Structure 1
Amino acid sequence: MPASRAHYVTHAPDVHPARHAVTSRALHASLALTIGLLYLTAYGRKWATTQLESANWYLLVVHVNLGLLSVALSLGLLAAHLWLPQPPPQGLPRVTRLAHRGLLAVLLALPVAAYIGTGFDLRVLGQWTLPAFQRLPLAASLTVLFEVPLITLMEPFGRFHRDWGADLLLPCLLGGHIAAALFHHLVLKDGALDRIWSLRR
């Protein structure tokens, strides 16, 4: 890189990183909280209630709306990673970038799989109803295209959401993400964890 270009990159006015800090870090914190609440409501239904209790239904409604919120936050965070300027990651840039986007991809895939695989209408904010996947013309078209019953088409998505996606894949990715952040903070001592949770420039 020419010296003049390197000087420009290093000493250009530091305006965009502040915008990135406010946007990306707020989205990151909101998504982390939402994921925690999603697991709390899911396992609260499974372990603390039965399907005959009204609490089970209320927790499901909250879980569904949190899932929709996680989609919006994941898309926002992905957009921030793609379009907002940010400092290059230290260590292994490509691995770091792939890990972040892989995690976001799973966070987007789980709600989509839930919508396709559950087979019931979704109540959104108590005001709107999102019709079940099986009611959509697309569902009928896919059954004709693949020549399978609708339940056969839906079941793999339901299993992904209920079992290995939410119970195995996402926890492993989250665990790796947290472990990497702690490694930067405790071993490398590069201030990465402080930068993630602070809005200071």
Structure 2
Amino acid sequence: MTADTPSMPAAARPQGRYDTTTIVLHWLTAVLVVVMFALPQIWQQFERRTPPRLWLIDLHFSLGITLAGLLLVRILWRAALGGRLPQVGPGPARVASRIVHLAFYILLPAQVTLGVLLRWAQQQPLPYFGLFVIPDPFAMPLDARTVLGLLHEWNAWVIIVLSGGHAAAALLHHYVLRDGLLLRMTPKR
């Protein structure tokens, strides 16, 4: 893909590309996070206990279970790949990148965990696309709903704000710094 960018100075072209698996895992995670954040905004437009609202809630939880599996695969893939991932720029850019990625690796599993605990505190099993349900093995108390709900919502907002900053930084690198960073996370053509 770097050959398709003749206006980019040779020194600014991507140093190394991410492998296809890392790229796919990144974009699947991004899409799931955005969709899962949007679903509660949408279901709040429907009356409580109506079929559309219940369907959107079940979809949210099914996607949450999918995200949990995807995060596990990402963590295992990252551990297996180790230091072979391309590095991001020098000094401050590299430090900022590491901090942001570490934050994602903490916040996303925390979000899934909070969502599961919240569902169980609501005395509801976790549905997975109508295929099966995961019952509450702990008998979560009902009075935990409020705290878990607030933590789940606040954490979601932190993830979305951090994701927006992450996307803005990628666009800055691409359009202003023109260093080819964004191209490293796109599939080869």
TM-score range, shorter chain: 0.7 to 0.9
Partner of 1:53: 50
**Is the 1:116–1:158 contact (alpha carbons within 8 Å) kept by the matching residues of 2?**
no
Partner of 1:157: 148
Question: Does the alignment pair 1:113 with 2:103?
Answer: no
Per the TM alignment, residue 75 of structure 1 is displaced from its structure 2 partner at its CA by: 2.4
Per the TM alignment, residue 133 of structure 1 is displaced from its structure 2 partner at its CA by: 5.5
Question: Does the alignment pair 1:179 with 2:179?
Answer: no
**Is the 1:29–1:197 contact (alpha carbons within 8 Å) kept by the matching residues of 2?**
no
Relative to 1, partners in 2 of residues 1:31 and 1:188: Cα closer, same or farther, differing over 3 Å? same
Question: Does the alignment pair 1:83 with 2:80?
Answer: yes
Q: More helix by proportion, 1 or 2?
A: 1
CA distance in structure 2 between the partners assigned to 1:115 and 1:197 by the alignment = 32
SS of residue in 1 equivalent to 2:19: helix
Question: Does the alignment pair 1:62 with 2:59?
Answer: yes
Larger radius of gyration: 1
SS of residue in 1 equivalent to 2:78: helix
Relative to 1, partners in 2 of residues 1:67 and 1:156: Cα closer, same or farther, differing over 3 Å? same
Question: Counterpart of 1:197 in structure 2: which amino acid?
Answer: T
CA distance in structure 1 between the partners assigned to 2:42 and 2:98 by the alignment = 33
Question: Counterpart of 2:40 in structure 1: which amino acid?
Answer: A
Identity of aligned residues (%): 24
Partner of 1:96: 97
RMSD: 2.1
Give the TM-score of the pair, scaled to structure 1: 0.74
CA distance in structure 2 between the partners assigned to 1:99 and 1:133 by the alignment = 33
Relative to 1, partners in 2 of residues 1:59 and 1:66: Cα closer, same or farther, differing over 3 Å? same
Q: Which runs of 5+ in 1 are unaligned?
A: 1-16, 140-149
Per the TM alignment, residue 29 of structure 1 is displaced from its structure 2 partner at its CA by: 1.2
Relative to 1, partners in 2 of residues 1:81 and 1:98: Cα closer, same or farther, differing over 3 Å? farther
Partner of 1:130: 134
Per the TM alignment, residue 180 of structure 1 is displaced from its structure 2 partner at its CA by: 1.3
**Is the 1:117–1:157 contact (alpha carbons within 8 Å) kept by the matching residues of 2?**
yes
Question: Counterpart of 2:31 in structure 1: which amino acid?
Answer: L
Give the TM-score of the pair, scaled to structure 2: 0.78
Q: Which has the higher contact order (CA 8 A, sep 6+)?
A: 2
